[in-house]
Chains A and B, each alone.
Chain A
Amino acid sequence: MTRSVFVAASLCVVLFASLSAGQRAGSGAAGLTPATRQELMKSMSSAAAYLRAQQSAEGTFDANPGVSAVAAAALLRQPGVPKEMLLDAGGKRALDAIVKLAKPDGGIYDKIVPHYITAVSVMALVAGGRPQDKPLIEKGRAYLAEHIWDEGEGVKPNDKWYGGIGYGGSDPNRRADIISLEYALRAMKEAELPANDAAWEKAIKFLQRTQNNSETNDQGWASNDGGFVYYPGFTYHSDGGTRSYGSATYAGVISYAWANVKKDDARVQAVLKWVRDNYTVDENPGMGQKTVYYYYLVFAKALQAVGQPVIVDAKGRSHNWREDLAKKLISLQHPEGYWVNTDKAELQDNKVLVTAFTMQAMEAILQP
């Protein structure tokens, strides 16, 4: 009974959102066409139904705390559906399962990759918006800010790892990377870490040292394409070297945005040049299909965050990225409602995780 009421209500919301979106469509110079918006809403509704069907009785997804938190956040952020309805449709169970993982030091994780799991857990709790989770959110954001490499861990400002964050745990090696940092900064931003917190400035140091921009990067390897690598001096670009690649670069764009660096800043302008030179929604530039759904997520969130509705590529062609990405994602959806990558690296053979990534990318597309 509850499920059928929820499905009926969701359909009404989708219909209403589509109609109202259609009325607004004419005003947006580079928004979605009414037809694409309607397709996108239908696609998200079908994806949400798929995800809900995968949830266990305990509230988890795929028996994996990271996947569970990403899926919970995607479902709880579904546009156009009232939060109470989302909470009742499995959201509360998912959040309760996350709350059980809270540690006294503020981390929210089971055993491994504590920084990443804490970041996605904080994002899920924020998406839930329950008052009782506020103390955990605040402790979680403090935990993340605390674990950014700095003098507290004996890392000096001239060290290449300074301001970064890694997977965490009992890792005998000091390391950090742009993807872990993007997750941490996104969680800190969503959890409203004050803009004057020292963690942001420290993170900016690491971002600069990960960017191929010799004007602001004090590392000897840096070139000048403006994009980002995985961590200072190391890339996953299929051609090797220290070439910038798609997902790292959009993670860099969005991290600058989270860290309150303005769009007209030279570092952001440099990376936007890379974006223009490498614009595509067909692959993760430099990596092919590897981690392409994370690429779609940061692509959408980054371009939405910097307020760049149209990208003029290196050949002078204009791209309405919202329309391009929406059509691409809709075309990739399986009839059952999920997405999955043909390349299984980084768990992208996991339908729940990839579907949750895609729903969050779609949510960013729909934001003004």
Chain B
Amino acid sequence: MTTATLPILEAAVLVVAAPLCGVALAVRRLRGAAPAAALFAAALIASAFWTILALGWSAAGGRALVSYATVGTIGFALAALGAWFGTSWRDPLDAAAFSVGIALLAAFGIFVSGPLAANLPTPVVNAALIASPIVSAASAADVDLLRTDLLYRISPLAHGRFDYPSWFAPLAAYGTLLLISLAGTARALRKGWL
């Protein structure tokens, strides 16, 4: 593992952890949401600080910073998604399963779809890459994830036409998801499901 891969691994952890945290907070009617968000932000800032310290004030350091901003936005968006489902559905286990399922599908669906992915039109592949927190974090850090040894060997996707997302595309996509999820959560709380 290199320093540049740290935000990618953190994004992978967040795919499962963030929606679960969101559901857990929703069960408590969002009590403790502010400290949890602050703790997440602090952990992210500490990790980014450590990474930039290791890489130095260089182009790579700048890219790592963008990557952490992407990971942060994705983390908040997925947690908000979990909170929305948690406040909307009566059974928290259903909410957890659906929110984590959606996050996993977005993150890894394009990797596990095998030859199907290789035959998808390029715009669809590109959209799927924007949706994947793993690819987005890697792309922001300028890591050519699909051409790393393992993925290049096993994924047909790497051998076809695709474009990595620009740094702002995942920020915009997950920023939009964050806003929609927050609105949905507020609406569900007003309706008084819990």
Contacts and interface: CB of A to CB of B under 8 A. Distances in A.
B73 to A, nearest CB: 21
A170 B147 contact: no
Task: Classify chain A: how many residues form its interface, as a range.
Answer: 10 to 19
Interface in B19-47: none
A172 B138 CA distance: 11
A36 interface: no
Contacts of A113: 144, 147
B160 A347 contact: yes
Given A172-B2, A172-B4, A345 B159 contact: yes
Main secondary structure of the interface of B (DSSP, over half): helix
Interface residues of B, number: 22
Contacts of A6: none
Given A170-B144, A175-B149, A349-B161, 7 more contacts: A112-B164, A169-B142, A172-B5, A175-B148, A345-B156, A345-B159, A347-B160
Contacts of A171: 143-144, 147-148
Contacts of B164: 111-112
A169 B144 contact: yes
A328 interface: no
Interface string A75-119: 000000000000000000000000000000000000111000000
A-B interface, 4 closest residue pairs, ranked by CB to CB distance from nearest: A172-B2, A345-B159, A173-B149, A175-B149
Interface string B53-67: 000000010010000
A350 interface: yes
29 contacts: A111-B142, A111-B164, A112-B144, A112-B147, A112-B164, A167-B144, A167-B147, A169-B143, A169-B147, A170-B4, A170-B63, A170-B141, A170-B142, A171-B143, A171-B148, A172-B1, A172-B5, A175-B148, A175-B149, A234-B153, A344-B119, A344-B160, A344-B161, A345-B156, A345-B159, A345-B160, A346-B159, A347-B160, A349-B161
Contacts of A350: 161
Interface string B1-13: 1101100000000
